[in-house]
Amino acid sequence: MNRDDNLGFALIQNNAFNVLPSVGTTFNGISTDTVSIDQSLSAVVPPAAVVSTSALRLVKTSTLTLTGQPDIQLVTPLGQSGPAAYQLSVSSPVSPDHPLRLAMRYDTTSYPLSGGYPDSISIYRWSTGNRRWSMQHQSVVRQNGEIWVSLSGQVSGLYTLFLNRDDIAPIVESTIEGQFFLQGSIAPKQPKIAAIITDRNGVSLNRADYSIQINGESVPDDQINLPDSLANSNTVTLTLKTTQDFATGSNQVTFRATDVNGNASAIDTLSFTVVSKFDIQLLGNFPNPFSNTTVFAYRVESSEPLDNLELSIYTVSGRRIKRIQPEDISSQIINSVGYHEIPWDATDDDGHSIANGIYFYQIKGRLNGKTVQKKGKLAYFR
């Protein structure tokens, strides 16, 4: 491309620019150039950032959406009469070793240093996945009303400036087998591990914004399962896709998450124990005696879910009047490893209320041909 011709096109606001593997963004095919369509925004792609000849496009828009993010407000870019955003498109992925550098500018007279604005104004990108504006915080440089960030991978998106007043980190709560977990408790050797992250401005869906470790080793991004899109990203559930067997003994998983405004959570630690033996710890039923409903509490101790578990209730003569199996309880998997509670409303298998008196109960579990059973006694009086 002839540089003089390019300058001529700039007069009618050329918004498409060549990106070559050898030099990056360029007017003449020889040198690397910083490109822009106005004084509010500039972009430069360095050499070796793309593997094939590509195009970079910039389009300005004043149509912006902001909902569900109470702690940020739009900033008017330099030279604009009101808020504006820029659609940046690059036809090829950008190498993380040679990232695109994007700059946006604002008027320092409108947002002076004395107001604490320089550290609070940032470049944001619209995320279609969580329907939130997300702060871009990679290699940020701020100086005299100008903000530079580094972008890599699929960089195409809508960018603008926001003033951020959010300094509250998201909350992370980890679970095993879909239940909040008592630290140090027993878990299976292949547990289903998840974390629930909440934030009033929105939780990031970018895997790079998460730090997860298993026994001190970082979990690869491809083992972090996040939703691709959410109607409301104030609460996000993350699951781990690990297929490894955890070693017998103590294990630890740590989570750290980031919200859309760049606030990192405190580290949430999940500590659990994997055992090689199989046992059932019966913790009793509460209340006992009871007149309406009682709850049987027990803990399955094993390295994997049981093949079967059932709770049976008998009269003093030994006649079984009630049997509860996994398929009878939809709210939990009663044969999984860990702590469980099974409620009973004092009705028999036919749905009839039982008579006043003393009853016996038995919890029996089976795993790999071995059976463990534990017994207890309860009293019912209406």
Assigned CATH class of 171-274: mainly beta
CA distance 116 to 355: 73
Helix, strand, coil tally for the chain in percent (to 5) = 5, 45, 50
28 three-state secondary structure: coil
Backbone angles phi, psi at 22, to 5 degrees: -80, -30
The CATH architecture one would assign to domain 3-164 is: Sandwich (2.60)
Determine the straight-line distance between the first and last CA of the chain, rounded to whole angstroms: 92
**Domains 171-274 and 279-380 agree in fold:** yes
CA distance 90 to 261: 25
Name residue 87's beta-bridge partners: 59, 158
- Residue 204 has which token pair? 């990031």
- Residue 53 has which token pair? 């000849």
Is residue 156 classed exposed, middle or buried when 0-12, 13-18 and 19+ CB atoms within 10 A define those classes? middle
Provide the residue-wise pLDDT of the chain in tens; the chain has 382 residues. Answer: 444 444 333 334 579 999 999 999 999 999 999 999 999 999 999 999 999 999 999 999 998 989 999 999 999 999 999 999 999 999 999 999 999 999 999 999 998 876 667 679 999 999 988 899 999 988 899 988 999 999 999 999 999 999 999 999 999 999 887 777 778 888 888 888 999 999 999 999 988 899 999 999 999 888 999 998 888 899 999 999 887 789 999 999 999 999 999 999 999 999 999 998 999 999 999 999 999 999 999 999 998 999 999 999 999 999 999 999 999 888 788 898 988 999 999 999 999 999 999 999 999 999 999 999 999 999 999 8
Mean pLDDT over each residue of the chain, to the nearest integer: 91
CA distance 267 to 212: 9
What lies within 8 Å, CB to CB, of 360 at 6+ separation is 313, 314, 315, 316, 375, 376, 377, 378
- Domain topology for 279-380: Immunoglobulin-like (2.60.40)
- Residue 316 has which token pair? 């003093």
- Structural domain boundaries in the chain: 3-164, 171-274, 279-380
Backbone angles phi, psi at 8, to 5 degrees: -65, -40
- Residue 89 has which token pair? 């498109």
